């Protein structure tokens, strides 16, 4: 069990269903697709595409997308749902594409899963064409350093600790058990800047629908970030 994804694939596919889980369907999809709509993208690479949902969304918008992922059962599900799609085995750290191949590179909740973000981000920048964008949705670093707990007065609190210490931890929910990485936001920013990319958009998206109790919980704590980084044109 290197990272838990193969063993968790069936539960993950069930969790996402047709519409996506809460974080995707009610917080991230809309602002991610708004960024896509603002750009001029004909080709895309989705790094850590999972069962292919964002590739399918890109294809619906006329964008020719390739999805890569190291987890075979997720790729099999992506191909089953989208037989005309292009889904390939691969790791973010070793992108098997020529320089400047894509208008858009997407990392949709996959940076937290990638063991070597320095190699991954350098590779994502390399395969982008000048002027192209790297669009990232990630768990907020405050979130990966935090936990819900009950304080001494019985109040439900989100406590952040050991924020500056990079570490891997196993996360479990509804039959899924996978290894995620916590890294301070500054670590990701430094790697993106070192790759020569320029920040064009940064957001901490709020829920736009769904179960009100869940909406309230997602508004209490830092949960997600969205960033769009552009490769300079010259
Ligand atoms: C949280 S899922 C996100 C999947 C998809 N992007 C989505 O939003 O539904 C994280 C994905 O990262 C993939 N992954 C794990 N290690 C990876 C690596 N080194 N390079 C690329 N993807 C990786 C997993 O197989 C999994 O599909």
Tens digits of residue pLDDT in 119-132 = 999 999 999 999 99
* Res 12: pLDDT: 97
Q: What's the whole-model pTM score?
A: 0.97
pLDDT tens by residue, 214-223:
999 999 998 9
Give yes or no for a contact between 124 and 92, defined as CB atoms under 8 angstroms apart: yes
Crossing angle, helix 53-60 and helix 29-38, to 10 degrees? 40
Mean pLDDT of 147-161: 92
109: Cβ below 6 Å to ligand 1?
yes
* Res 44: pLDDT: 98
Task: Provide the pLDDT confidence category of residue 1 given band limits of 50, 70 and 90.
Answer: low
What does the DSSP 8-state code read for residue 27? I
pLDDT tens by residue, 94-111:
999 999 999 999 999 999
82: Cβ below 6 Å to ligand 1?
no
77: Cβ below 6 Å to ligand 1?
no
Distance (Å) from CA 68 to ligand 1 centroid: 9
Asked if residue 10 has pLDDT above 80, the reply is: yes
Q: What is the rounded CA–CA span in Å between residue 83 and residue 191?
A: 35
Go through the chain and tell me how many residues it has.
234
Query: In this structure, what token pair is assigned to residue 97?
Result: 């594409």
Query: By alpha-carbon position, which residue is closest to atom 4 of ligand 1?
Result: 50
Task: Provide the pLDDT confidence category of residue 2 given band limits of 50, 70 and 90.
Answer: confident
* Res 234: pLDDT: 73
Instruction: Specify the ligand 1 atom closest to the Cα of 48.
Output: 22
23: Cβ below 6 Å to ligand 1?
no
For residue 139, the number of C-alpha atoms closer than 13 Å in the C-beta half-sphere is 17
Q: Could you tell which of 110, 114, 173, 178 is best to mutate to test the pocket of ligand 1, judged by most ligand atoms within 8 Å of the CB?
A: 110
Distance (Å) from CA 47 to ligand 1 centroid: 7
Q: What is the rounded CA–CA span in Å between residue 163 and residue 29?
A: 27
What does the DSSP 8-state code read for residue 221? S
């Amino acid at each position: 069990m290197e990272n838990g994804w193969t063993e968790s694939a069936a539960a993950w596919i069930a969790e996402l269903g047709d519409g996506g889980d809460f974080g995707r369907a009610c917080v991230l999809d809309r602002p991610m697709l708004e960024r896509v709509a603002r750009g001029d993208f004909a080709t895309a690479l989705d790094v850590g595409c999972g069962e292919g949902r964002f590739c399918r969304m890109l294809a619906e918008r006329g964008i020719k997308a390739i999805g890569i992922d190291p987890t075979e059962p997720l790729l099999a599900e992506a191909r089953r749902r989208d037989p005309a799609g292009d889904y390939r085995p691969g790791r973010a750290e070793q992108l098997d594409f020529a320089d400047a191949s894509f208008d858009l590179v997407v990392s949709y909740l996959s940076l937290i899963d990638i063991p070597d973000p320095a190699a991954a981000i350098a590779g994502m920048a390399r395969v982008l064409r000048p002027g192209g964008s790297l669009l990232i949705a990630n768990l907020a670093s405050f979130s990966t350093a935090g936990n819900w707990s009950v304080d001494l007065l019985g109040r439900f609190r989100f406590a952040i600790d050991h924020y500056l210490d990079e570490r891997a931890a196993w996360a479990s929910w509804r039959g899924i058990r996978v290894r995620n990485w916590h890294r301070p936001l500054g670590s990701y920013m430094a790697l993106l800047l070192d790759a020569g990319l320029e920040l064009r958009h940064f957001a901490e998206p709020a829920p736009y629908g769904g179960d009100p109790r869940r909406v309230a919980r997602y508004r209490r704590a830092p949960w997600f970030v969205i960033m769009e980084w552009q490769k300079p044109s010259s």
